[in-house]
Structure 1
Amino acid sequence: MRAEVSLEAPAVPGVGPLPLTEREFSLFQTLVEREAGLHLGPSKQALLVGRLSRRVRALGLASFGAYYRFVTARGNEAEQVRMLDCLCTNETHFFREPEHFAFLRQRVFPEWTRRAAQGLMARRVRVWSAGCSTGEEPYSLAMELLAHFPPGSGWEVEVLATDLSTWALERARQGLWPVEKAAGIPRPMLRDFMLKGTRSQEGWMKAGAELRAVLRFARVNLHDERGWPAGPFELIFCRNVLIYFGAEARGRALSALLRRLPPTGHLFLGHAESLTGSAEPARCVAPNIYCAKPAPAPGASAT
């Protein structure tokens, strides 16, 4: 195996944080929430300084005020993408929240099999990992799906992995991780779907061809539904993403996610998240797992 792009965030010149005035922080708060839905409360001021100082210096700018003017200037959309890359939190691991994967094995997959046998469901499954970070979640989903619906079984599987961060998406596309990450992967899946690096790639593992065949990647801003993929998706995983959104942006995103589920689809949220703020009817079927609930017909009473 050979890695074709760097796995590390690019180094930039300059050391130490730059000073940030309250007014400058307020400007960045408004900009980031407007463009990406991310809410930077007062406690996040040090985070913003720490993550953007090196970017400011890399551009040869003297202050955050100068950087704000630069990043909001017409024609500098690419720098806005770089800025949001710096502010994204990319924390994940394989098979995170194992109870969600147990729910798939014990309840969802048997139901799909039953419905397909009765002609009530096509043998085609679309899954969306919304906020995929560096890829551990969508690759985990692909392994789980292919273990139960392997190529040649008559089932077609597609996993769409999206994120706001272009840097994280590039790492996800590579499908290459330190072998220490293998600790979270069940041994049979590790054997069947991952390749162990040798020689120059010793100490690394890489996703095999079967996984790569079912995965697609795209940059998607969850704050702007106009750029979202069209549904429906039988499964949507959006875990530990919307906790960073402001209340209004979070409610809109949750409603839009639920609208992309068929009646039998499932939305998976993180353990600290809920549907608070969503205007779409839904029902909880397990901790942090939801199904879209059709609105009652006119004149009918909701239960």
Structure 2
Amino acid sequence: MSRDLFTPEPGGWSSGSQFERDLELTDADFSRIRQLIYQRAGIVLAEHKREMVYSRLAKRLRHHGLIRFADYLARLERQPEAREWEAFTNALTTNLTAFFREAHHFPLLEAHVRDRRGPVRVWSAAASTGEEPYSIAMSLTEALGSRASEAEVVATDIDTEALEKARAGVYSLEQIHKLDEARIKRFFQRGRGRHEGLARVRPELKAMIDFQALNLLAPSWPLKGPFDAIFCRNVMIYFDKQTQARILERFAPLLKPDGLLFAGHSENFSYTTDAFRLRGQTVYMRKPIS
């Protein structure tokens, strides 16, 4: 059963009076953190990420009144079902995203689905704070017209905090300022009064998206195909080749026979799997099953 916090051990937590002290992160602690996040989420942390790890996890130690990473990790490992594992994973997950990021993908998606018969389904496999799935939903609306109400975007991410922001669908005007005015008017509601400076995704766009927490390393995924396209962009760079290949092999049967896989600008899957062939710039097509 999940816990909201670690279960206190005899003696309780530190009072927090030592928050100003430097926290102790040893080489062994850093090595253990790298091992745990790899086991949990497949993320490969390089040696030069030590300062990032310190700054992000230090907040969790201070939250619990701890001054040694060794104590934090020991309590994590003693309580494998604790909700703190979720906070640990969230802290070490990078969320860099934007609306219509890698813009060349979206006209390709629109052309791919425009003349489709039946419902269109797209999976955003690293949805982060929602900019990608909402961009997909906007593209589907523009491409499908009145049939867009039948389209579905499944948006998943391992970071539950990021998903909560995505579900809320509220962004600063700065975050949407690169969208053209027609899209802003069509797909967003500008805030007034205490919501000045914010914009909220319109309900009809949000209704197209099903947000779910999902770990790509999980032995089973709580979703079913087939999908017309899968977006898995700028997440594979955090996995080793073996993990990449395993995930790509699992993607293939979830796609329609001519389904597309959209990758990030720095990702190349050509030498990772035989399940896909390169179709265009960071766009792959599922190979026919022989």
Instruction: Answer whether TM exceeds 0.5 for this pair.
Output: yes
Whole-angstrom distance in 2 between the partners of 1:149 and 1:15: 56
Q: Secondary structure at the match of 2:78?
A: coil
Aligned pair partner of 1:20 in 22, 25, 33: 25
Q: CA deviation at 1:57?
A: 1.8
Whole-angstrom distance in 1 between the partners of 2:242 and 2:271: 7
Aligned pair partner of 2:191 in 186, 189, 197: 197
Structure 2 counterpart of 1:93, which letter?
A
- TM (normalized to structure 2)? 0.88
Structure-1 residue corresponding to 2:127:
132
Aligned length: 273
Alignment of 1:139-158 (within 5 A): 139-150=134-145, 152-153=146-147, 156-158=150-152
The one-character-per-residue Cα deviations of 1:238-292 (angstroms, maximum 9, x if unpaired) are 1111111122212211221223111111000000001156444211111110111
Whole-angstrom distance in 2 between the partners of 1:199 and 1:27: 48
Structure-1 residue corresponding to 2:232:
238
Aligned pair partner of 1:31 in 26, 33, 36: 36
- TM (normalized to structure 1)? 0.85
Q: Does 1:109 align with 2:113?
A: yes
Aligned pair partner of 1:46 in 33, 51, 54: 51
Structure 2 counterpart of 1:182, which letter?
I
The one-character-per-residue Cα deviations of 1:163-219 (angstroms, maximum 9, x if unpaired) are 111110000000000011122323322111111111111100000011011111010
Structure-1 residue corresponding to 2:9:
none
Q: CA deviation at 1:74?
A: 2.9
Structure 2 counterpart of 1:188, which letter?
A
The one-character-per-residue Cα deviations of 1:92-150 (angstroms, maximum 9, x if unpaired) are 11000111112223x3134xx1xx4xxxxx42011111111110000011111112223
Q: CA deviation at 1:228?
A: 4.4
Could you tell which deviates more after superposition, 287-296 or 73-82?
73-82
Whole-angstrom distance in 1 between the partners of 2:224 and 2:47: 36
Structure-2 residue corresponding to 1:100:
105
Structure 2 counterpart of 1:132, which letter?
A
Structure 1 counterpart of 2:134, which letter?
Y
Structure 1 counterpart of 2:204, which letter?
E
Aligned pair partner of 1:57 in 58, 62, 65: 62
Q: Structure 1 residues 198 and 16 mapped into 2: Cα distance closer, same or farther (>3 Å)?
A: farther
Contact 1:138–1:161 (Cα < 8 Å) also in 2: yes
Q: Structure 1 residues 50 and 267 mapped into 2: Cα distance closer, same or farther (>3 Å)?
A: same
Q: CA RMSD in A?
A: 1.8
Name segments (4+ residues, structure 1) moved above 6 Å.
Answer: none
Contact 2:21–2:67 (Cα < 8 Å) also in 1: no
Q: Secondary structure at the match of 2:85?
A: helix
Whole-angstrom distance in 2 between the partners of 1:154 and 1:51: 40
Any unmatched runs of 5+ in structure 2? 1-15
Whole-angstrom distance in 1 between the partners of 2:262 and 2:36: 29
Any unmatched runs of 5+ in structure 1? 1-12, 117-121, 297-303
